[in-house]
Amino acid sequence: MKKFWKAMNDFLKNIISQTGNVIFFFKKKEIKREKINKILIISLYFRGDVLFNTVAIKMLKKIFPDAVIDVMVKSRSKEVPEGNPNINRLIVFDDIKTADYNDNPELKLKEKISLLKKIRKENYDLCIDFTGKYSTALIALIGGFRYSLGLNYNGFGFCYSKLVNINTQNTKGLLSEKYLNTLKEGLGINESEWLKLNTGFDNNCEIFLSPAEMSAAENKLNSLNLNPDKPLVCIQVTAGWKAKEWNEKNYSSLISELIYTDHEFVLIGSDDDKEINYKILDAVSPDLRKHFLSLPLKINAAIIKMLDLFIGSDSIGLHLAGAVGTPSIGLFGPTNPDFSNPNGDIHKVIYKKLTCSAGDSSQYCTRDAGKSCPDIECMRNISTGEVLENAEFLLNKYFNQKKLLLEKIKVLHISPDSVIHGTERHILSILKYSDREEFEHSVVNSKTEGIFGKDSRALYKLIKEGKFDIVHSHLNSYGGIIAKLAGAPAVVHTRHGVFWSEDELNKISFTEKYFQKLKSKMFDMTIALGEYEKKTLTEKFNYDEKKIASTINGVDIDDINAGVNKLKTKKELFGTDEDIIVGLVGRLEKQKGFDYLLDAVSLIKDKIDGIKFVIIGNGSLKDELIEKRNRLGLEDKILFIEYKKNILDYVYNFDMMDLTSLWEGLSYAVQEAMALSKPVIALTSPNVSGVKEIIVNGETGYLIESDYVNELGKYILVLSKDINRRLKFGRAAKERESEFFPEWRTASDMENVYRELYNTKFRNGKF
């Protein structure tokens, strides 16, 4: 009977597929990548599946570095991608059935229609359906996408521009690799290009944890009074369905042995798991109930990251261990570990394969993933002794190595100035949020202009005698070169910008390109501020992708808003309380492009009653700019103000901000304005503008890529006449700044770079 229904199901799929292909033949078309700027990913399965999708999202951002990527998830999974810098925003939608269990069976037609309307308004260029159900395929069909690609198991492949014929459940290999292959095949990427894309690519899943989440996890662990000198083991006893779970008595026995052999442990799960965890703990001792932690997913992930070993079934906990790099022991039975166990030698598998177990190309066993199995013999055959033996092996290898690495990593930062400019703010962000138990930071101010000067000799001596593990030079590359000559084990250099305009970059000489690349070879890692700068360095100067990483200039929204004196008024600061204030902040130098603003205001001067322009800053071009303002007859419209220490009071009283720079990285001025809920109009260009990473065109402000003077004037008038749009953009700007550019991320990104370099040197015997 089972074979009959399977045959009927296959027959119906075939009929649906053939009929759909005839009716919707026009949907099939080649996906032209150059036309893709906005992407929607549909990922509506469970938390583990969404985590596996993060690898493909990371690759997608590498393929389309300039594209906006939105992801549709269910509320049960939204914690997984939250805070992911590759994702623009999450669309949470629960009213659609995508699984045979733990899902919403109601039709919810009104809600689905509302969702489709919202999607169509977004004008996405590409939809990628990683869910592969008929319901998600129909979204791809009628969602107004230029192109779509996806997996499908229900005969609805006709809904996509490109159907990728990969059945993730019945094709050999890791699920995350299959989602990558979906991109490769769907986007028509050839082997040569795919090999290049995978060079230096980290194919591990990702989850991004904030300092608040790490702190919450640390506080929870501290409340248990665990001994940090003992190995700390994290256990998850539950899984997506009962058949995947190991025997309760075995877990009780395991915990008893861990206690006996001087290990610390915690159990993690949700409130729904409390009863079974208490039962397991009570079998050892009722006093152990406090060791069960019922916490949100990301705090559980932070717990796993802090501990030394994870033990559990094929579950979200195991997958999180892979994402955060904690050694693990995966207990597999009705599911195939080749599909979902984390990558790497630090992750061990215990799998008792039986005649009914999954074949090499099947994710699930022949007994409906264990759901129809009477005894789950495959899980019963896993012994406590085997788990302990694997635990001992991993802890001996990695816990002891971790203990050796407990000595603080010493980092010396070479700052180009003692005055606080953007570079110095960046260094302070690293110092502010860096883990002081893991890193010891020192900062030296060196105005080094060459490698033979007095400052250079002093710096050489300091590095030689200071025994720093890592020297990090900022802005001025000579400091990094001196560090290399002084024998520093690892040298990092952050450029803090690409200091050429678009025209200059396109005309740059071969000699200059060669010199820049030669300097980069001196460093173990070059840091780019943002993906645009990274793209410029790799494409224009042929920097080695393996030796370049990116971070951000982040800001602390709470600190910025707390630093504003809200009693200050427009009247007090600008001499008017009625005009709309269009503000600009920056050094009065060529780079900042203030001429564009003056020309734009001159162009629209007959339409700017009730608008006042304020330029705040010092610089060598001040007299020249004031003379031009006067010549254009704009004395009453454009006000020049010296730079102020309380600059945030002024920005708070702007109605909008303009940025007219010829080249600019991840501008602090723009981010402060966005943190204060101000929309921003910014000039930009294809290669040298990081503001495109900060501002979302038409949502938080406007980006102008050509016809600068006319377009700048146009959008100044658009925003000045529409207070509702200004307020809407301002709210969205603050939300975006909070989610994607928090100050702590600067430190987190750099800590990852420092750790990787330190561990590489350690493995090579340097330490």
Query: What's the longest Cα–Cα distance across the chain?
Result: 90
End-to-end C-alpha distance for the chain, whole angstroms: 66
Q: Which amino acid is at 308?
A: D
Residue with tokens 């962000």: 429
DSSP 8-class letter at 398: I
Q: CA 615 to CA 613: how far, in whole Å?
A: 7
pLDDT, mean over the chain: 89
Section 712-716 average pLDDT: 96
Q: Give the number of other CB atoms < 10 A from CB of residue 155.
A: 21
Q: Which amino acid is at 338?
A: D
Per-residue model confidence (pLDDT) at position 767:
40
Residue with tokens 């026995």: 253
Section 215-223 average pLDDT: 94
Q: Give the number of other CB atoms < 10 A from CB of residue 375.
A: 8
C-alpha 586 chain-centroid distance: 29
Three-state helix/strand/coil letters over 371-385: CCCCCCHHHHCCCHH
Neighbour order of strands in the sheet with 264-269:
292-294, 264-269, 232-236, 309-313, 328-332, 347-351
- Backbone φ and ψ for 426, nearest 5 degrees, come out as -60, -45
Is the model's pLDDT at 69 over the cut of 50?
A: yes
C-alpha 232 chain-centroid distance: 28
Q: Environment class of residue 65 by beta-carbon count within 10 Å: exposed (0-12), middle (13-18) or buried (19+)?
A: middle
- 89, 165, 734 from 737: Cα distances, Å: 12, 39, 5
Is the model's pLDDT at 766 over the cut of 60?
A: no
pLDDT digits (tens, 9 = 90+) for 302-349: 999 999 999 999 999 999 999 999 999 999 999 999 999 998 889 999
Contact in structure between 99 and 119 (CB atoms under 8 Å): no
Token couple for 163: 């159907």
Contact in structure between 99 and 74 (CB atoms under 8 Å): no
Is the model's pLDDT at 763 over the cut of 50?
A: no
pTM score, two decimals? Answer: 0.64
pLDDT category of residue 280 using cuts at 50, 70 and 90: very high
The DSSP result for 512-534, as a single string, is: HHHHHHHHHTTSSEEEEESHHHH
Q: CA 652 to CA 461: how far, in whole Å?
A: 46
Contact in structure between 236 and 317 (CB atoms under 8 Å): yes
Those residues with Cβ within 8 angstroms of residue 454's Cβ, 6 or more apart along the chain or in another chain: none
Q: With CA atoms as reference, report the closest residue to 387 among 293, 254, 492.
A: 254
Q: CA 472 to CA 470: how far, in whole Å?
A: 6
Q: CA 363 to CA 170: how far, in whole Å?
A: 6
Q: CA 739 to CA 32: how far, in whole Å?
A: 31
- Backbone φ and ψ for 329, nearest 5 degrees, come out as -120, 115
Contact in structure between 423 and 482 (CB atoms under 8 Å): no
pLDDT digits (tens, 9 = 90+) for 558-585: 899 999 999 999 999 999 988 999 999 9
Residue 312's beta-bridge partner residues?
236, 330
Per-residue model confidence (pLDDT) at position 407:
74
C-alpha 492 chain-centroid distance: 21
pLDDT category of residue 765 using cuts at 50, 70 and 90: very low
Q: With CA atoms as reference, report the closest residue to 596 among 492, 710, 747, 494.
A: 710
Token couple for 441: 């930071």
Is the model's pLDDT at 158 over the cut of 80?
A: yes
C-alpha 705 chain-centroid distance: 26
Token couple for 309: 């070993």
Is the model's pLDDT at 64 over the cut of 70?
A: yes
Lowest mean pLDDT among 96-110, 242-256, 268-282, 426-440: 96-110
Is the model's pLDDT at 244 over the cut of 90?
A: yes
Token couple for 502: 């678009």
Is the model's pLDDT at 11 over the cut of 60?
A: no
Residue 89's beta-bridge partner residues?
70
Is the model's pLDDT at 452 over the cut of 80?
A: no
Per-residue model confidence (pLDDT) at position 418:
65
pLDDT digits (tens, 9 = 90+) for 521-535: 889 999 998 888 888
Q: With CA atoms as reference, report the closest residue to 689 among 538, 551, 531.
A: 531
Token couple for 292: 């069960």
Is the model's pLDDT at 238 over the cut of 90?
A: yes
Give percent of the chain above pLDDT 70.
92
Q: CA 544 to CA 526: how far, in whole Å?
A: 9
Neighbour-count burial for 175-197, b at 16+ CB within 10 Å, e otherwise = bbbbbbbbbbbbbebeeeebeeb
Q: With CA atoms as reference, report the closest residue to 747 among 563, 579, 474, 554.
A: 554
